[in-house]
Amino acid sequence: MKNKYIIASLLTAFLGFQFLSFTAKTPEEILNELTTSFHEGMNEFERSIQTFKQSAIALDSTATAIERLRAAHINNRLAFKAIEYLLAHSDEEVVKKYLNGAPLPTVEPNLPEVNRIDPEGLQVLDELVFRRTTLSSERRKLLNLLVS
């Protein structure tokens, strides 16, 4: 019985020290960490875009080139997902329209005439890169156009 009290006392003391040693970060520290994380994420995203561009330019009909392009696109998407929440927080409309919008054509809002806007962004590239058929010359040209 005495051992239970000793163990409970030690556990309470340990948890008390843990709570007392906790220090909250200042807003400046949080902002610095977030800014650093954002810049590192943007640099990684830029590197993945360059790798994707190189893979798209070097694309031919071989299976290894197609797999290299697909792997580069997956890395591109993962790098984007790491910073998407920050980009969406700053300008959600731009992210939806140009970076990660649905691969469907839309119309320009608030205009009397109908202007069709072709889809852009990573989801359009998903459709092109991961088709079951091999990449034709038209699709290769479109990929080169999208990444240039």
pLDDT in tens, 60-92: 777 788 889 899 999 999 999 999 999 998 888
Count other Cβ atoms within 10 Å, centred on residue 79: 21
* pTM over 0.85, yes/no: no
More confident residue, 122 or 105: 122
Top-confidence residue, 124 or 38: 38
Collapsing DSSP states into helix, strand and coil, what is residue 118?
coil
Per-residue confidence (pLDDT) for residue 146, from 0 to 100 = 64
pLDDT of residue 134: 57
End-to-end CA separation in angstroms for the chain: 75
Smallest CA-to-CA distance from 129 within 48, 68, 86, 62 is with 68
- pLDDT of 93 reads 86
pLDDT band at 97 (very low <50, low <70, confident <90, very high): confident
Query: What's the pLDDT at 26?
Result: 87
The pLDDT score that the predictor gives to residue 127 is 82
Residue 79 has what pLDDT? Answer: 96
pLDDT tens for 5-64 read 778 777 787 777 777 667 778 889 889 999 999 999 999 999 999 998 888 888 777 778
Mean pLDDT in residue range 122-128? 84
Cα–Cα distance, 40 to 82 (Å, whole number) = 10
